[in-house]
Amino acid sequence: MKYLLAMPFVLLLSCTSAQVKTKDDARAAEIWLAACSFCHGVDGKPPAEWADKGMRKFGTFGMKMGFFFGGDKMRAGIARTIAEGKGTEMRPFKGHLTDAEIAALVRHIESL
């Protein structure tokens, strides 16, 4: 009986640990927390002071549909924004991140 009660917790732990699949995915999660989450939020939803400035929310239905229908074009646009920056608030990360790290970051954003 006690094994049946523990089963949901084992399933939950296995699902959460499966989120980070590769070394690149783990690195992207580290970069997100260190360089992106202050403005974009840990979960892709920016804090109120940034949302009021028009900061885009990630993980929304619209974003998911954008990835679904826009696919590679949307991924390329996000990668370009990461590399080149945007406006005065987001600095460019080209030269600070490799192309592989930027691609992994785009996948991370898509998974939010």
pLDDT tens digits, one per residue of 33-85: 999 999 999 999 999 888 888 788 898 998 899 999 989 999 999 999 999 99
Q: Is 104 in contact with 25 (CB distance < 8 Å)?
A: yes
List, in sequence order, the alpha helices (H) in 1-112: 2-17, 23-31, 37-40, 48-51, 61-84, 99-111
Mean pLDDT to the nearest integer, 9-21: 48
Q: What is the pLDDT of residue 53?
A: 81
pLDDT tens digits, one per residue of 85-109: 998 889 999 999 999 999 999 999 9
CATH code: domain 21-111 is 1.10.760.10
Q: Where are the domains of the chain?
A: 21-111
Please determine, for residue 13, whether its predicted confidence score (pLDDT) is greater than 60.
no
Q: Whole-angstrom Cα distance, residue 79 to residue 58?
A: 14
